[in-house]
């Protein structure tokens, strides 16, 4: 792992709009002075930064989830885990580890506002990367998407796409706790092995298997919940196999991020014939319930009922390449870049 320059604030900024997948030339490496702490601010030293499909959309200038799109030259948006190294805010003390919006940079000085709340991480004895996986937006998305939108009941059949991803891998484990039959879709054999290890009753390799035929075989009584992390074809195939009163949870659409033309879903009327529901969800709408959810997720972590699945890329300097690889399906679990080793790290 390359050593991060501790004398400067290192940043990745956007050099130009990406076309298709991101490439090195879309990014600009920049160094500047470490910011000087102002009144009410805290100074953060970055430990981990999240890598998420949505980042390419920010880079394309799209405004999403309350974050405005990026202008050329802006520091790239991204949530991260960081250590407080100085504080002019009595609620935060040096040494505390927080998660929140940091951006692709190795230091950040910021006020804590209602909009940019930095949450202290109760790490349950695990590495603090947990603040971006099970106890971050990923885990919360799995929690609210499955429980509040999917409303699973024991013995129901749930199909999860992107099952080896950050959200998917958590959904699988919660669904198994509830007593559902879980069928996961993933894009290679190693991922299929992983999701079976996490509890999937069946794993479908969507790159080599005929999805519709396999769903027909495996879901003879229909799908009760389809948890969608990918959109497109797999969503369409699931619509063709719904049970009565089933629920589709629209969580992500990674299959669409690299296409110029969005997917035309031509069998949405299947929702009518099965009395089914397609529920979109936006995690920040549940923010009033984040504390309670985090408490429950923490207790499951401590009891080892669920575990984080993290794909950690090393080094700030490798972030552009790491982001590119997640669109190729190269990662499993939550994709993170480790910027510095934090307390309690496993290496």
Applying CB under 8 A, the residues found at the interface with a second copy are 64-65, 231, 244-245, 250-251, 253, 256, 261-282, 285
Smallest separation (angstroms) from a second copy to the CB of 286: 9
Closer of 102 and 251 to a second copy (Cβ): 251
Closer of 59 and 242 to a second copy (Cβ): 242
Smallest separation (angstroms) from a second copy to the CB of 157: 19
DSSP letter assigned to residue 67: B
Closer of 23 and 65 to a second copy (Cβ): 65
- Rounded-to-integer distance, Cα 168 and Cα 161, Å: 7
- State the DSSP H helix or E strand holding residue 136, giving kind and residue range, or none if neither: none
Closer of 250 and 297 to a second copy (Cβ): 250
Closer of 236 and 325 to a second copy (Cβ): 236
Smallest separation (angstroms) from a second copy to the CB of 242: 9
Smallest separation (angstroms) from a second copy to the CB of 61: 16
CA 183 and chain centroid, separation:
20
Smallest separation (angstroms) from a second copy to the CB of 270: 7
Smallest separation (angstroms) from a second copy to the CB of 254: 11
- State the DSSP H helix or E strand holding residue 279, giving kind and residue range, or none if neither: strand 277-280
- How far CA 245 is from CA of 148, 211, 270, 272, 276, in Å, comes to 16, 22, 11, 10, 5
Beta-bridged to residue 269, according to DSSP, are none
- Rounded-to-integer distance, Cα 2 and Cα 346, Å: 18
Smallest separation (angstroms) from a second copy to the CB of 264: 2
Classified as helix, coil or strand, 217 is helix
Gyration radius of the chain over CA positions: 20
- Is the separation of the CB atoms in 127 and 342 below 8 Å? yes
Residue with tokens 């950050």: 166
Q: How many residues are recorded in the chain?
A: 347
Closer of 87 and 161 to a second copy (Cβ): 161
Smallest separation (angstroms) from a second copy to the CB of 211: 18
- Rounded-to-integer distance, Cα 38 and Cα 112, Å: 12
Closer of 207 and 259 to a second copy (Cβ): 259
Smallest separation (angstroms) from a second copy to the CB of 294: 20
**Cβ neighbours around 120 below 10 Å, total:** 14
Here the tokens at position 299 are: 């207790």
Check the CA dihedral 125-143-229-183 and report its sign: positive
- State the DSSP H helix or E strand holding residue 274, giving kind and residue range, or none if neither: none
Residue with tokens 């790159």: 207
Here the tokens at position 38 are: 């102002």
Here the tokens at position 114 are: 């209602």
Closer of 189 and 267 to a second copy (Cβ): 267
Closer of 261 and 304 to a second copy (Cβ): 261
- Rounded-to-integer distance, Cα 343 and Cα 346, Å: 9
């Amino acid at each position: 792992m390359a050593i991060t320059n501790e004398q400067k604030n290192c940043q990745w900024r956007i050099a130009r709009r990406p076309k298709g997948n991101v490439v090195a030339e879309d990014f600009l490496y920049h160094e500047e002075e470490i910011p000087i702490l102002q009144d009410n601010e805290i100074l953060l030293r970055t430990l981990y930064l999240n890598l998420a499909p949505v980042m390419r959309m920010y880079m394309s200038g799209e405004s999403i989830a309350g974050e405005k799109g990026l202008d050329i030259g802006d520091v790239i948006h991204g949530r991260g885990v960081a250590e407080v190294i100085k504080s002019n805010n009595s609620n935060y003390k040096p040494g505390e580890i927080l998660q929140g919006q940091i951006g692709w940079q190795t230091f950040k000085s910021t006020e804590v506002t209602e909009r940019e709340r930095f949450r202290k991480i109760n790490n349950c004895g695990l590495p603090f990367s947990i603040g971006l996986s099970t106890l971050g937006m990923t885990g919360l998305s799995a929690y609210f998407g499955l429980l509040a939108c999917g409303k699973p009941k024991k013995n129901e059949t749930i199909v999860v796409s992107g099952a080896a991803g950050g959200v998917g891998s958590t959904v699988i484990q919660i669904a198994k706790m509830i007593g559902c039959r879980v069928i996961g879709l993933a894009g290679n054999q190693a991922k299929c092995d992983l999701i079976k290890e996490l509890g999937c009753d069946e794993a479908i390799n969507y790159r080599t298997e005929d999805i519709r035929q396999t769903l027909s075989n495996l879901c003879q009584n229909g799908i009760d919940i389809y948890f969608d992390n990918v959109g497109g074809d797999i969503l369409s195939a699931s619509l063709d196999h719904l049970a009565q009163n089933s629920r589709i949870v629209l969580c992500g659409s990674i299959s669409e991020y690299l296409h110029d033309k969005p997917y035309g879903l031509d069998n949405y009327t299947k929702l009518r014939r099965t009395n089914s529901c397609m529920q979109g969800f936006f995690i920040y709408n549940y923010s009033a319930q984040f504390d309670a959810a985090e408490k429950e997720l923490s207790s499951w972590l401590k009891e080892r009922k669920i575990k984080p699945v993290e794909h950690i890329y090393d080094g700030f300097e490798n972030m552009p390449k790491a982001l590119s690889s997640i669109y190729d399906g190269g990662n499993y679990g939550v994709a993170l870049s480790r910027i510095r080793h934090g307390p309690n790290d496993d290496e």
